[in-house]
Amino acid sequence: MSPRPSRRALIGAAALTPALGLAAWRRPEGAPLDPPTMTTVATLADAARAQGRYYGAAVRAEQLRENAGLRAAVLRDCQVLTPEIHLKWNSLEWRKGEFNFAPVDDLLAFSQRHGMEVRGHTLLWDQGTPGWARQDMLQRRDWSLMSGHLERVLKRYAPRITDWDVINEPIDTEAGAAGLRRNVFHQAFGPTYIERVLEEARAHAPQAHLVINDYGFEYDNPVDQARRKAIVALARRLRASGAPLDGIGVQAHLDLSKGPLAVEGLRDMTRRLIDEGLEVTITELDVKESSFHGSAAARDQKVADETRRYLETMLAFPQVRGVVTWGLSDRFSWLSEPPQRLHADAPLNRGLPYDADYRPKAMHHALSEALRLTA
Ligand code: G3I
């Protein structure tokens, strides 16, 4: 484990949103039995903090600015925010040399005002790399472009953001090379681009928690099985070579169409990662519905059951330091945008803790209960 001060301790110590627990609601004589929904649900921040963990959500600064309902939900539940889009290279520098830092700066200012932390998602992602940089890397294989990007972003943000998804989605067991995705970085610099990037990230952000973040570990099928092995193999390789890696981010985009969760496989993977001295963060939790059949309540129950099963498995390990959902309200979910959403009339996916009108759903309750479990 890293010698740096535990992130969990830092977040646990922060004074955050006030609790709105059951005690906040008192039923006046003759009032209807159902209490107002918002005041009956314990905050996810409180639930997580009680176990030395954190809860957070991915957001976009402009959505927070424009939607009071989302803001209220974020303020009551989140200790941590992840910028859903705006820290990616193609958002920061869509055109070479023209920088767009404002949305991340705004999110940081908001989080600072409200005593929250921000996760750095993400320094490097094939799909988040601007076209001009891809072309340049492939043609010239010039590492200085990569170095310049890492230095610029970390010098600006590392003092405030101390938890980084340094590399996003480096694994590919189907079309990859030895389990690694043949992304633009692999093509330009070979498989050790990972070590080099981690080294440079550590040099610019010596106090930060450095993470490799990936998806596709949850189900009992040959692809997920291979991916679980591949992430463990990568972690071993990096730890053996002394690369400065502190943790693995498991995205956890759950999907009801993929059958039962691979509970044993998940346990085994997590134990092996921990045995390598790594911490684990659940970085992008949400649930994709398979059919949209049934009432909203029935759909919400399925989503909640899947969430609960997953978290009960993962949060049995104290080294799982936090849970971030990929959004907070169904109104703003990548699963409700094309191409995930097949047509404009399709129902919204209901895979986040709040519905589109910011009412907490069964998933919120499942998260709250699971976060309270003692590891
Ligand atoms: O802002 C432009 C808008 O001006 C334009 O009209 C529109 C046309 O397509 O595109 C808009 O940008 C889109 C942006 O989301 C905002 O909606 C991008 O095309 C779209 O690619 C972008 O998608 C994001 C994606 O990452 C790529 O950055 C998703 O919202 C975001 O949820 C998703 O997040 C990823 C994680 O980073 C990594 N793990 C998987 C996860 C889900 O794909």
Q: What is the pLDDT of residues 294-338, one digit of tens each?
A: 999 999 999 999 999 999 999 999 999 999 999 999 999 999 988
The answer to whether the beta carbons of residues 306 and 254 sit under 8 Å apart is: yes
pLDDT at residue 135, rounded to an integer? 97
Q: What gap in Å lies between CA 14 and CA 115, rounded to an integer? A: 7
What is the b/e burial string over 127-163, where b = at least 16 CB atoms within 10 angstroms of the residue's CB?
A: ebbbeebbebbeeeeeeebbeebbebbbebbbeebbb
pTM score? 0.90
pLDDT in the model for residue 359 = 97
Judge if the beta carbon of residue 270 lies within 6 A of ligand 1. Answer: no
Q: What is the pLDDT of residue 15?
A: 30
88 lines ligand 1 (CB under 6 A): yes
Indicate the CATH number of 22-371 among 3.40.50.970, 3.30.360.10, 3.20.20.80, 2.40.340.10.
Answer: 3.20.20.80
What's the confidence (pLDDT) of residue 33? 41
Nearest residue by C-alpha to atom 26 in ligand 1: 85
User: What tokens does 77 get?
Assistant: 């539940």
In tens, the pLDDT along 21-34 reads 222 223 334 444 44
Q: What is the pLDDT at residue 36?
A: 40
Question: For position 339, what pLDDT does the model report?
Answer: 85
Amino acid 166: pLDDT: 98
Shortest-distance atom of ligand 1 to CA 121: 37
286 lines ligand 1 (CB under 6 A): no
Low-confidence spans in the chain with pLDDT less than 70:
1-41
Distance of CA 225 to the CA centre of its chain: 21
For residue 263, how far is its CA from the centre of ligand 1 (angstroms)? 30
Query: Cα of 362 to ligand 1 centre, how many Å?
Result: 27
Q: What is the pLDDT of residue 29?
A: 41
Q: Best mutation site among 84, 166, 285, 340 for ligand 1, i.e. most ligand atoms within 8 A of its Cβ?
A: 84
